[in-house]
Amino acid sequence: MRKLALSDEILLQIDKPARYIGEEKNSIMKNAAEVAVRFVMCFPDLYEIGMSHLGIQILYGMFNSYEDTWCERVYSPGSDLDDILRKRNIPLFALESQDPVKDFDFLGITLQYEMCYTNILQILDLSHIPFHADKRTWDDPIVIGGGPCAYNPEPIAEFFDLFYIGEGETSYRQLLDVYKTDRANQVTREEFLRHASTVPGIYVPSLYRTEYKEDGTIASFTPLFQDVPKTVRKEVVGNLSESFYPTKPVLPFIKATQDRLVLEIMRGCIRGCRFCQAGQLYRPIRERNIEVLKQYARELIKNTGHEEICLSSLSSSDYSHLEELLLFLIDECDANKINISLPSLRIDQFSLDVMNKVQDVKKTSLTFAPEAGSQRLRNVINKGLTEEDILGGSKMAFEGGWNKVKLYFMLGLPTETEEDIKGIGKLCNEIAKVYFDTVPKEKRNGQKIQITASTSFFIPKPFTAFQWASMNTQEEFREKAFQTRCGIIEQLNQRSIKYNWHDTDVSVLEGIFARGDRKIANVIEKAYEKGCMFDAWNETFHYDKWLESFDECGLSIDFYTTRERNDDEIFPWDFIDIGVTKAFLLREWKNALAGKVTANCRAQCQGCGAASYGVGFYCPGGDQK
């Protein structure tokens, strides 16, 4: 029987001990003595959050399919266990072997959202690994980051030996081989990092130097050595139908936040919304073959006994065989007594039919994401959804018996005016009107129309057309949320409309990290020392400590948030090549300011640059068509 890292005494005192014992179905045990590389994959948040993430399941399965590698997992311990580990000096351990993280060859940390940055320090701290990469020796694992936030790795660059830029399926094998060879040849850690910098997609922060101008912006960003590449090109899977897919995912004992099987149907998005980072990062669009997906679905169901399955992609309605896939799943799931959790689909007759079949009588709500209240502003952000789409879709749904509508908006978008904000209330009111006009009183069965409008605050992200844009201040955000509320209250049908908005503190910090540079690392370290951790969780977020930390480091928050960037500014992330060019993004930024709409990839190629990968579904010269 496996020996646990924690005693019964500890496990019986902490919340959800099942988070820390491993042993989940489909988790992989190997003999540590028989593998050459030990990799521990970390999601720097609680187990239930981390276990909901598909990316780790992919890499975990892929690494463990290599005979010479054993990949394990570790998550952020809850604060109760965190206290105990510190007090008793127990090193953080991996779930499978229960061995200390420090003893591994690699510690891989996935960076899914900016607000997990202090948790990275928690993981390093509890593992007894130095925070700064330049203080590490061969006694420490190689710390490697990946995931969406690795596309601007600079704020956390000092804490990492390596970053993997792009999709993990392609380059890891080569990296592990370089590592094996170098360790066998007993090279220094620095030499290994140098070799790693030539592996496609690998960025080694310690091999670059940033020079700043007097105004704090970047003057130059250059490699220290000739053989270190000037730019790091994003890795992309060429053929999704042939890449590794985890059809035997690890099944947590305790309920994960997203407790369902995941079928990833495609990567990339044709839509080109100008605020959306994922829409640019994951270009070009690639689809998984439908027959392959059917096979995966069957295997997933068989290998897990799970009771729920969902589709994953940025815009499932755009999958070219969606209808066939959903009809197949409905049959398959019906036969196996499995629920399908539908992705948010564009509302049309087909999607309503599907929702009807899947959800039966308990009708859930319809979801629209207009993102902006007026057509003018929707053109600015290039959100193709029109008022006719929303009202037409709502009418169809009301006729089908739905009576709940959820709407998502953003406040603080570039060029936004009071008129645009008022448009949110007006649009909600129009939807209510459609309901009252469509459904006669006797057919309402005592039910009411419920419209929920939610707003979030717009945060400019790297590799979007809005990377040059100014972010609103907290005061502006609050004022806009107030205006939104007023705009709703003055509507005739205001009793049918509910308004939700979130607080602004976290948005400010997310804005800083998203477009931050290397100078931010000090602030993160300082805030961590002051006790900041789990910043993504409201109850553990301490904005005052962050403000203090910025003060003590002498950094201005406005420099990172509200400052509008010049067209020719060198951004901290400019050395990364995601295929989509800066020239294209700048053109889109100008189009946005002019209120000009750009057609989607399927309608017409806009020459964004992602076609250079040669594999895009809709790209000229793409080989998947």
266, 618 Cβ separation under 8 angstroms: no
Kindly state whether residue 18 participates in binding another protein, applying the rule CB under 8 A.
yes
Is residue 33 a contact residue for another protein (CB under 8 A)? Answer: no
Please check whether residue 597 is in contact with residue 379, taking contact to mean a CB–CB distance below 8 angstroms: yes
Closest by CA position to 381, among listed 414, 351, 425, 350 = 414
With CB under 8 A as the contact rule, the residue among 174, 303, 415, 454 that binds another protein is 303
> Which of 6/293 has CB closer to another protein?
6
Q: In the bound complex, what is the minimum distance in angstroms from residue 535's beta carbon to another protein?
A: 29
Q: Which two three-digit tokens encode residue 351?
A: 């999607």
Of 22-30, 71-79, 215-223, 411-419: span binding another protein (CB under 8 A):
22-30
Which long-range contacts (C-beta less than 8 Å, at least 24 apart) are formed by 374-379?
A: 374/419, 374/420, 374/423, 376/419, 376/420, 376/595, 377/413, 377/415, 377/416, 377/420, 377/423, 379/595, 379/596, 379/597
Residue 531 found at the interface with another protein (CB under 8 A): no
Is position 306 an interface residue for another protein (rule: CB under 8 A)? yes
Task: Pick the closer one to another protein by CB: 21 or 187.
Answer: 21
Structure tokens at 625: 């068509």
What is the tally of helices (H) and strands (E) in the chain?
20, 19
Q: Is residue 425 within 8 Å of 491, Cβ to Cβ?
A: yes
3-class secondary-structure state, position 70: strand
Q: What angle do CA 37, 42, 43 make, to 5 degrees?
A: 155
Among 131, 253, 350, 537, binds another protein (CB under 8 A): 253
* Residues in contact with another protein, shown as a per-residue x/- string from 358 to 377 under the rule CB under 8 A: --xxx---------------
Is 357 a residue that touches another protein (CB under 8 A)?
no
Based on the shown chain and the rule CB under 8 A, indicate whether residue 11 belongs to the binding site for another protein. Answer: yes
In angstroms, give the least distance from the CB of 110 to another protein: 25
Residues 567, 157: Cα–Cα separation, whole Å: 25
CA distance 471 to 477: 10
- Closest distance of CB 4 from another protein, Å: 6
Asked if 17 touches another protein (CB under 8 A), the answer is yes
Residue labelled with tokens 């407790």: 259
Cβ 5 to another protein, closest distance in Å? Answer: 11
Q: Is the peptide bond before 284 cis (omega within 30 degrees of 0)?
A: yes
Q: Provide the minimum distance between the beta carbon of 52 and another protein in the complex, in angstroms, as a whole number.
A: 15
Q: Could you say which of 15, 25, 213, 558 contacts another protein (CB under 8 A)?
A: 25
Helix (H) or strand (E) holding 41: strand 37-43
Q: Which range of residues in 249-257, 344-352, 401-409, 609-617 is near another protein by CB under 8 A?
A: 249-257
DSSP string, 454-465: EEEE----TTSG
Assess 24 for contact with another protein (CB under 8 A): yes
- Provide the minimum distance between the beta carbon of 337 and another protein in the complex, in angstroms, as a whole number: 5
Question: From the CB of 334, what's the least distance to another protein, in Å?
Answer: 10
Q: Which residue lies nearer to another protein by CB, 12 or 184? A: 12
Site for another protein in 559-598 (CB under 8 A): none
Q: Which stretch binds another protein (CB under 8 A): 146-154, 320-328, 354-362, 414-422?
A: 354-362
For another protein, the closer of residues 305 and 607 by Cβ is 305
User: Half-sphere exposure of 575 toward its Cβ, with a 13 Å CA cutoff?
Assistant: 28
251 binds another protein (CB under 8 A): yes
Stretch that binds another protein, among 30-38, 59-67, 253-261, 399-407 (CB under 8 A): 253-261
Least distance to another protein from the beta carbon of 35, Å? 20
Asked if residue 522 binds another protein (CB under 8 A), the reply is no
CA–CA gap between residue 543 and residue 531 (Å, rounded): 11
* 1 lies in the binding site for another protein (CB under 8 A): yes
Q: Which stretch binds another protein (CB under 8 A): 69-77, 297-305, 492-500, 547-555?
A: 297-305
- Pick the closer one to another protein by CB: 17 or 78: 17
Query: How many CB atoms sit inside 10 A of residue 42's CB?
Result: 26
The position carrying tokens 């994003």 is 234
How far apart CA 597 and CA 381 sit, in angstroms, is: 8
Sign of CA dihedral 21, 27, 30, 32: negative
**CB of 232 or CB of 301, closer to another protein:** 301
Residue 25 vs 135, nearer CB to another protein: 25
> Binder to another protein among 219, 254, 492, 583 (CB under 8 A)?
254
CB of 413 to another protein, least distance (A): 40
Burial readout 94-110 (b: 16 or more C-beta within 10 A, e: otherwise):
bbbbbbbbbbbbbbbbb
Q: Please state, in angstroms and rounded to a whole number, the distance separating the CA atoms of residues 324 and 286.
A: 18
Q: What contacts 277, CB < 8 A, 6 or more positions away?
A: 148, 151, 461, 462, 463, 464
| Furthest C-alpha separation in the chain | 82
**Site membership for another protein, residue 442 (CB under 8 A):** no
Q: What are phi and psi of 573, to 5 degrees?
A: -100, 10
The side-by-side arrangement of strands in the sheet containing 366-371 is 366-371, 404-411, 450-457, 497-501
Nearer to another protein, 100 or 141 (CB): 100
Shortest Å, Cβ 345 to another protein: 21
Q: Within a 10 A sphere around the Cβ of 429, how many other Cβ atoms?
A: 20
Q: How many residues bind another protein (CB under 8 A)?
A: 32
Nearer Cβ to another protein, position 304 or 562?
304
Residue whose CB is less far from another protein, 17 or 130:
17
Question: 3 or 625, CB closer to another protein?
Answer: 3
Rg for the chain (alpha carbons), in Å? 25
Q: Taking the complex as a whole, how short is the minimal distance between the CB of residue 7 and another protein, in angstroms?
A: 8
Rounded to 5 degrees, φ, ψ at 53 are -100, 125
Residue 18 vs 599, nearer CB to another protein: 18
- By CB under 8 A, the residues from 68 to 97 that bind another protein are none
Using the minimum distance from each CB to another protein, give the nearer residue, 262 or 270.
262
Closest CA to 326 of 340, 305, 306: 340
Residue 337 backbone class (left: φ over 0; alpha: ψ -120 to 50; beta: rest) = left
Binding site for another protein (CB under 8 A): 1-2, 4, 7-9, 11-13, 17-18, 21-25, 251, 253-255, 302-307, 336-337, 339, 360-362
